[in-house]
Every structure is written in structure tokens, then in C-alpha cells.
Amino acid sequence: MEFDYIVIGAGSSGLTFAALMEKKGFKVAVLEAHSLPGGCSSYFEREGYTFDAGATTLSGLKENRPLFNLIKELNLPLNLTAIDPGIVSILPDKTIFRFKDQKKWRNELEKKFPGIDHEKLWSRLSDIEEKGWHLSSAFKNIPLRSIGAVTGFLKLDTLKALSSLPALFTSVESELRALKINDSGYLSMLDELLFITAQNHMSDTPLLMGAMGLSYPDDTYYATGGMKAFSKALAAKCSHIFYRHTVKKITPLNDGQNGFEVVTSKQTIRGKKVVSTIPIWNHSELFDEKRVKAFFQRYPAPDPSACWSAFMIYLTIPLNEKREGLYYQIHTDSIPHCKTRSFFVSLSHPHDQERSINGRQVVTISTHTKSKEWMNLTKEDYQKKKEECAQFILNVLKEKFDLKDEDLKNVMTGTPKTFIKYTHRFHGLVGGIPHSLRRNPIDFLVARSPVQNFYMLGDTQYPGQGIAAVVLGAQNLCEFLD
Ligand SMILES: Cc1cc2nc3c(=O)[nH]c(=O)nc-3n(C[C@H](O)[C@H](O)[C@H](O)COP(=O)(O)OP(=O)(O)OC[C@H]3O[C@@H](n4cnc5c(N)ncnc54)[C@H](O)[C@@H]3O)c2cc1C
């Protein structure tokens, strides 16, 4: 079979790229190892309930942001509800509602953390956030792939947004310190919120990414049917998805000039160009050619202790329409085997009949963990660790949500090993590369591909993690290749 494009991976980035290119008239094959679409934003079904496997929230739906543009361009039949408050932070001594409306949000902060200049901080964050989005969507030629791209980049009439660039070199913490913010509860709320998006703490997160991460909850949406609805809507726009096709080998023909031969667990497929959406660290094993292997080995797999994986709990609880939101971050003591101090709770919408039955709500809980905690254990030790971690989190959940033991049903857990099994990601590392002041920003600017007509997308590439970012990466690449 001969295709214009072979896309490796049916996660959010691969499906977006494939669907957009197919709309432009190209013949596109998507090769996916798993039997379902979505990758880290996939789903699974058990006993009549549909669980989001990883990601649960959609953002980037404000006008002209990536998901807004994607849904419009592909006319995706999604039933979206804006979630307000976008997140509820439950601290030991107070609960904070992150309202969409900026004035209401400032009032909430003033009420819960009086005496801080919230107006100054949040106007600054919102200004940087706007500019950050502007930069990442206006500069479609990043990564820079040619001299022409550099010239185009310089000519863009977005110089105003460039004024946010110094925020790449200063941390969120420095900004807060400059504003003399030292309320420990407030700092802890911001730090844990940052951890969801930047995968890092405020002391090391660049203000630019930090502002974008801290602002996401005012742009949070729920799709009826959850991630199943989102991923399936995208997959429906791709005519040639080959599920259960694990890519084993990629052979560039005449250095990519004559296309590629891609060997999967089932067959060999030929294509003119290849777009891979798997993490950069997974690549060296896919190429035989020494030069290409050596190229990828220059991006060595990170020390698994430098990136994060996730511990997951899936369950159902009795429906309660009175709860104030769908998304919660619960602060707690250090969680066993995770070393994090909060976990994220995501509920299915009370009116979402597609995911849930019998007057219950589906819950996905996630928290960060290091993959090495879960490797090389005996079966018994692995089970024991899972139980200790789950028990701790569920006890806190019961207390905060006023639930009894018998209210919790269909409880299942997932670890980095589960992510390896279902997403094939190196060491089960998910959530992308943590944003860090120590990361060289120049890294973003170069196209990391050793072979002609071979491109990479996804959350270890520009512009980073989260569905909105990987969708934007795919949109930018489509435009570049068109
Ligand atoms: C627990 C968790 C919660 C999250 N919550 C949110 C959230 O609420 N909102 C949000 O915006 N983002 C969230 N994220 C981040 C978001 O899910 C990811 O950044 C995004 O989905 C990554 O998409 P991707 O296409 O880059 O990669 P993936 O989703 O990893 O897709 C890559 C695909 O490639 C396939 N694959 C891998 N190797 C091979 C191979 N050799 N052959 C064939 N196929 C292969 C995999 O099976 C996978 O389907 C969350 C992530 C996690 C883990």
C-alpha cells in the first residue's frame, strides 16, 4: 500500500494531523499499537461505564485557540459544556473555586486570601498567557526548518507578543516574590496547579509557560461522552486507521527522498512521508541505519527520575448534582509511592448518560509518580504498593466528598506499567517534558528530524504538553507541509 503520509500513533496529535491532511485530499494511514484511539487521552469501558484513561479536560477552546479551530475546521460533532468553576482546589483549611469570569475569580481570591494584590498578579499572568498563545500559534514555522522559515519568523507582525519572551527566563516563584506574595496556602495552591500543566514546581517553571498553565482553568470544557467522544470524533475523520499495528521498524528509502517502508506487527506499509507522534525517546530502536540511530541517541531517554508518570484510580460514585464542579485538586499529605502532595479528581458530567448508568458518576483520579517506583517489583510488592497508594487517596476522597466505603464501586488502578502497556511510551513517561528554566529554549527552535520527509509531533515536541498544545503542533505542521 502506498500513502502520502504514514502517521505513527492515533493519539490527539496523530489523529489531528491525519484528519486535517485527509481533508486537504492526502491519502493518510494511521498506525496505532492499541485497539482504540486516543493514546493518553483514550478511554476504556467496564460494566456499562466509560472511563477516561488519562486526560479528562479539554481546553484551548477560546476563539482562535487550537481546539476551537480544530472543531470548526473539521466540523466535529461534539456536545461541549463550559465548566465553571474550571477547577476547585481543596486545601486543608479552605476551598477555592476557580471561576471563569475574571472579576468573580479576583473576588474569590480576595475573600480566601485577603491582603494580596491579586489584580496585579492575575492581570500580569493573563497578559503573558495571551502573548504566549499568540506566539505559539503565530510562529507556525517553529521548529525552524529552513532559512526561509527564519526569515518568515523575523517578518511576522507579532513583535508585540515578543515582549513576553523575558518571561521564558524567570521563574513563577521569582514573580511571586517580587510581588511579595508569601501566603503559604496561596503559594501551595499555585504550585500544585502548576504541577498539573507544567509538570514542575514554581521555583523552576518559566513564567511564560507558568502563566499559560495557571490560566487554563478559565477555558475548561467537558465533552458529553468524555474523551471517547473526542477521540472517536477525530478518528471518524480518518479513513485508514490500522489498529493493533505496532510499528517495529522504519526504513527511509534513499534517505527519505523515495519515501519510507514502515514495518508493523502485522504488515509493511509504504508512504512518501512519515509523521511520528511517539515520544522522541522511543525512536532510536525503530531505525536500523547507524546515522539515524546516532541522531536519536543524542536525545537520550531522560533519566526516568527527571520526568513523570501517573498513578491512576478509576471508580464510580453515587451521582450528586450538588457538587460545585467536575474537576478538583485535593491537597493532602505526601501520597505514598508518589511523593506528590495533591491529586486530581475528574467527574463525569451528572447529565452525561453516555458514560454512566444507574444514578452514578464516573471518576478518574490521577497523581504524579516516578516510574522507577513501580518497576522490578515482585507481583506481591507491586500489588501491595498499588493498594497502599489507592487506599491513601480513596480515604482522603471519602473524607472530602463525604462518601462511605460502600459508595465506591468499580475501583481499578493504573501505574506507569499500565501506560507502557497501553501507550508504549518509554518507561510509561507521560505528560511531556517538564517545563524548566534549565531546559534550553533553543531546543524548541530546531526541527528534530534526521531524515528528509520524516517529522515529529506530540507532547515531547514543540509546543509541548496537553491536548491543546499537541493539536496546535499538528495544525502548524499541516500548514507547513501544505
Ligand atoms: C493522567 C493524565 C492526565 C492528563 N490530563 C490532561 C487533561 O486533562 N487535559 C489535557 O489537555 N491534557 C492532559 N494530559 C496530557 C495529554 O493527554 C497528552 O499531552 C496528549 O494526549 C499527548 O498526545 P500525543 O498524541 O502527543 O501522544 P499519545 O497520546 O501518547 O499518543 C501516541 C500514540 O502512539 C501510539 N504508539 C506508541 N508507540 C507506537 C508504535 N510503536 N506503533 C504504533 N503506535 C504506537 C500509542 O499507543 C498512542 O496511542 C494528561 C495526560 C495524562 C497521562
Q: Which atom of ligand 1 is nearest to the CA of 31?
A: 43
Has residue 56 got a pLDDT over 80?
yes
Give the pLDDT score at 155: 57
Would 46 be classed as within a structural domain? Answer: no
58 CA distance to ligand 1 middle (Å): 13
The count of structural domains within the chain is 3
Where does a domain end: 398, 413, 428?
Answer: 428
Question: Are 97 and 213 found together in one domain?
Answer: yes
Question: Are 417 and 462 found together in one domain?
Answer: no
Has residue 436 got a pLDDT over 80?
yes
Would 53 be classed as within a structural domain? Answer: no
What CA–CA distances, in Å, run from 327 to 238, 345, 450?
A: 31, 6, 41
327-331 and 87-90: which strand pairing?
parallel
Q: What percent of the chain has pLDDT over 90?
A: 78
Question: Are 196 and 260 found together in one domain?
Answer: no
Count of other CB atoms within 10 angstroms of residue 92: 10
Where does a domain end: 162, 190, 222?
Answer: 222
Question: Are 170 and 91 found together in one domain?
Answer: yes
Give the pLDDT score at 146: 61
Closest CA to 6 of 207, 278, 386: 278
Question: Are 144 and 254 found together in one domain?
Answer: no
Residue by residue, DSSP assigns 34-58 as SSSSBGGG-EEEETTEEEE-S---E
Has residue 157 got a pLDDT over 60?
no
Give the pLDDT score at 179: 93
What CA–CA distances, in Å, run from 133 to 181, 317, 371?
A: 26, 37, 31
Question: Are 88 and 216 found together in one domain?
Answer: yes
Protein residues whose CB sits closer than 6 Å to any atom of ligand 1:
8-14, 31-34, 39-41, 54-57, 246-247, 277-278, 310, 366, 423-425, 430-432, 458-459, 465-468, 470
Tell me what the mean pLDDT of segment 139-150 comes to.
61
Q: Note down the domain range covering 158.
A: 81-222
Closest CA to 114 of 183, 31, 44: 183
Compute the distance between CA of residue 286 and CA of residue 243 in angstroms, rounded to an integer: 18
Q: What is the pLDDT of residues 250-290, one digit of tens each?
A: 999 999 999 999 999 999 999 999 999 999 889 989 999 99
Compute the distance between CA of residue 425 and CA of residue 448 in angstroms, rounded to an integer: 18
Q: What is the pLDDT of residues 394-418, one digit of tens each?
A: 999 999 999 999 999 999 999 999 9
Would 16 be classed as within a structural domain? Answer: yes
Handedness of CA 94, 100, 101, 103 (dihedral sign): positive
Residue located nearest, by CA, to atom 10 of ligand 1 = 466
Would 48 be classed as within a structural domain? Answer: no
Question: Are 96 and 213 found together in one domain?
Answer: yes
Question: Are 316 and 417 found together in one domain?
Answer: yes
Question: Are 107 and 148 found together in one domain?
Answer: yes
Has residue 145 got a pLDDT over 70?
no
Question: Are 94 and 174 found together in one domain?
Answer: yes
Per-residue pLDDT band for 480 (boundaries 50, 70, 90) equals confident
The average confidence (pLDDT) of the chain is: 92
166 CA distance to ligand 1 middle (Å): 30
Would 56 be classed as within a structural domain? Answer: no
What's the distance, CA 348 to chain centroid? Answer: 18
459 CA distance to ligand 1 middle (Å): 8
Tell me what the mean pLDDT of segment 41-65 comes to.
97
Pick the more confident residue, 241 or 302.
241
CATH number at residue 473: 3.50.50.60
Q: Which atom of ligand 1 is nearest to the CA of 457?
A: 26
Residue located nearest, by CA, to atom 15 of ligand 1 = 466
Would 175 be classed as within a structural domain? Answer: yes
Where does a domain end: 179, 194, 222?
Answer: 222
Question: Are 383 and 241 found together in one domain?
Answer: no
Q: What is the pLDDT of residues 166-195, one digit of tens each?
A: 888 999 999 999 999 999 999 999 999 999
Has residue 152 got a pLDDT over 70?
no
39 CA distance to ligand 1 middle (Å): 4
Give the pLDDT score at 281: 87
Q: What is the pLDDT of residues 112-129, one digit of tens each?
A: 999 999 999 999 999 999
Helix axes 184-198, 207-215, angle to 10 degrees: 90
Per-residue pLDDT band for 134 (boundaries 50, 70, 90) equals confident
Per-residue pLDDT band for 159 (boundaries 50, 70, 90) equals low
Q: What is the pLDDT of residues 301-338, one digit of tens each?
A: 666 667 899 999 999 999 999 999 999 999 999 999 99
Q: What is the pLDDT of residues 59-106, one digit of tens each?
A: 999 999 999 999 999 999 999 999 999 999 999 999 999 999 999 999
Tell me what the mean pLDDT of segment 27-41 comes to.
98
Would 459 be classed as within a structural domain? Answer: yes
Residue located nearest, by CA, to atom 52 of ligand 1 = 54
2-8 and 49-52: which strand pairing?
unpaired
71 CA distance to ligand 1 middle (Å): 19
Question: Are 86 and 209 found together in one domain?
Answer: yes
Would 55 be classed as within a structural domain? Answer: no
